[in-house]
Chains A and B, each alone.
Chain A
Amino acid sequence: MQDEPTPTELIKAVADFLRDDIAPVVSGHNAFKLRVAINALDLVTRQLSLQSRSDAAEAMRLSRLLGIQGSLAELNRALADKIAKGEFDLQTPGLADHLWQTTMDKLAVDQPNYASYRRG
């Protein structure tokens, strides 16, 4: 067992330090890059706290849709394949809901301020 603080706590502390102490004294293109870097750290903390639950739910939905078991990557490959072959489409019961839910869970990590996400 690894000791505390947790990765989430550490990353958050670094992000806050960069945001509160460093960003005000950096200018020009580096200020832009620093903002992007802070956004990246914030994304990682969101992923660390949200991923296990959304991954588990996604795997369950995929297993039900496809009728098979497997890793999340295998299940997604199987679904992508079925859509590519035309075996699954938007008329397939549960598919649209699954894609919406999965995409909303991705946006919750990647870009929770994206207007389309907030509308969804």
Chain B
Amino acid sequence: MEEQLGRCVASWCPGATGVVEAVRLSGGASQETWSFDIVHPNGTVGAILRRAPQGYGAAPGRAAGLGAEAALMQLAYDAGVPSPRVLHVLQPQDELGIGFIMERVDGETIPRKILRDDRFAQARPKLAHQLGKVLGGIHGLDPAQLPELRRMTAAREIAELERDYRSFDWPRPVFELALRWLRDRDPGPSQEVTLVHGDFRHGNLIIGPDGVRAVLDWELAHLGDPMEDLGWICVNSWRFGEIDKPVGGFGAREELFAGYEAAGRSVDPERVKFWEVMGTLRWGVMCCGMMQRFRMGPEHSVERAMIGRRSSETEIDLLRLLAPRA
């Protein structure tokens, strides 16, 4: 791998003498991520390769594609959104598959560390506001410059979730209740259609002691209602036990909203709540999908099997949202 990466790097990074410390990173179930160092006379450069592994892609139809991901990451970087710089988009002659190479940003993505470790104690109270501002920046990106992305609406999202859920052929009365609730309260297409990150949550945010350093993983980016991103980061599954702090387990909705408004944008809290319910159901359906892939896929991964058993977590969260107990 280091040899192959070294040949690739030499083609676009003049002076680079090779690649060392190539390691495959865990996490990121649908795409392969490698970390490596580019050796250069001016100093070592930390880099990340993101590529599609052979014969194992993301949920088909939903993924923006690695080319679009690279373009969005670069656009975000240019607009001042915390983001890694894209160094190279893989070419056929690289023989590394489809993907891109970006700068490695130091920091933490593991939620439990971000929520518990002392070194993030200063960052935690600031994060919700910061992330609001970051989302404001993302939603403010010039639509004319965006790569081609699928256009989503609440109605289409509900239909896709329902189709996926029905395909599992396993009755879930709580999911049925949520589907009804969403359909009855669909606020209609958003007046403003923007770039939506689509997976803005723990794991896809690099956090340092100073706060947010980079937004990663544009795999699920699309055009749609900007309130979707605000709702998704409030989904209880990303609070990791800190259930009274709706924004990622570290902050209040009001702080997130204030940061968003500080970026010159406005919030519709009702829509955010709607998307939080949608997001909770969506994660539940995704958990069920993991169980399907476990059962039908060639590799018999215990991890995936156990994620299937996490769909009940979203059922209790849906009940807390839709039928709270006194």
Interface of A with B (CB < 8 Å)?
29, 32-33, 36-37, 39-40, 43, 73, 76-77, 79-80, 83-84, 86, 89-90, 96, 99-100, 102-104, 106-107, 110-111, 114-117, 119-120
Residues of B within 8 Å of A99, CB to CB, are 173-174, 177, 319, 323
Cα separation A89 to B174 with both chains bound (whole Å): 11
In the complex, the answer to whether A114 meets B173 with C-beta atoms within 8 Å is no
Give A47's nearest chain B residue, CB to CB.
B309
In the complex, the answer to whether B176 meets A80 with C-beta atoms within 8 Å is yes
B 303-325 to A, binary, CB cutoff 8 A, 1 in contact else 0: 10110011011011101101101
Residues of B within 8 Å of A115, CB to CB, are 239, 241-243
- For window 5-27 of chain B, which residues contact chain A by CB distance below 8 Å? 26
Residues of B within 8 Å of A29, CB to CB, are 26
Return the contact of A40 from the options B173, B174, B302, B317 (Cβ within 8 A). Answer: B302
In the complex, the answer to whether B317 meets A116 with C-beta atoms within 8 Å is yes
Given contact pairs A107-B316, A116-B320, A83 touches B176 in the complex (Cβ within 8 A): yes
- For window 210-243 of chain B, which residues contact chain A by CB distance below 8 Å? 236, 239, 241-243
In the complex, the answer to whether A120 meets B325 with C-beta atoms within 8 Å is yes
B69 to chain A, nearest CB (A): 24
Given contact pairs A86-B180, A110-B310, A73 touches B26 in the complex (Cβ within 8 A): no
In the complex, the answer to whether A90 meets B322 with C-beta atoms within 8 Å is yes
B239 to chain A, nearest CB (A): 7
24 contacts between A and B (CB under 8 A): A32-B26, A36-B303, A39-B306, A43-B309, A73-B171, A77-B171, A79-B173, A80-B173, A80-B176, A90-B177, A90-B322, A96-B323, A99-B177, A99-B319, A100-B325, A106-B312, A107-B312, A107-B313, A111-B309, A114-B313, A114-B316, A116-B313, A117-B316, A120-B316
Residues of B within 8 Å of A96, CB to CB, are 319, 323
- For window 159-199 of chain B, which residues contact chain A by CB distance below 8 Å? 171-174, 176-177, 179-180
A66 to chain B, nearest CB (A): 11
Residues of A within 8 Å of B322, CB to CB, are 90
In the complex, the answer to whether B173 meets A76 with C-beta atoms within 8 Å is yes
In the complex, the answer to whether B325 meets A106 with C-beta atoms within 8 Å is no
Give A29's nearest chain B residue, CB to CB.
B26
Interface of B with A (CB < 8 Å)?
26, 171-174, 176-177, 179-180, 236, 239, 241-243, 302-303, 305-306, 309-310, 312-313, 315-317, 319-320, 322-323, 325
Counting from the closest, the 3 A-B pairs by CB-CB distance are A80-B171, A83-B176, A106-B312
In the complex, the answer to whether A79 meets B171 with C-beta atoms within 8 Å is yes
Cα separation A96 to B317 with both chains bound (whole Å): 14
Cα separation A99 to B173 with both chains bound (whole Å): 8
Residues of B within 8 Å of A40, CB to CB, are 302, 305-306
Cα separation A84 to B158 with both chains bound (whole Å): 13
Cα separation A111 to B242 with both chains bound (whole Å): 16
Residues of A within 8 Å of B319, CB to CB, are 96, 99-100, 103
B169 to chain A, nearest CB (A): 9
Cα separation A115 to B97 with both chains bound (whole Å): 41
Cα separation A84 to B172 with both chains bound (whole Å): 10
Residues of A within 8 Å of B243, CB to CB, are 115-116, 119
Cα separation A80 to B236 with both chains bound (whole Å): 24
In the complex, the answer to whether A84 meets B303 with C-beta atoms within 8 Å is no
Residues of B within 8 Å of A117, CB to CB, are 313, 316
In the complex, the answer to whether A80 meets B172 with C-beta atoms within 8 Å is yes
Cα separation A43 to B307 with both chains bound (whole Å): 12
Residues of A within 8 Å of B325, CB to CB, are 100, 120
Give A79's nearest chain B residue, CB to CB.
B173
Cα separation A77 to B317 with both chains bound (whole Å): 21
Residues of B within 8 Å of A114, CB to CB, are 313, 316
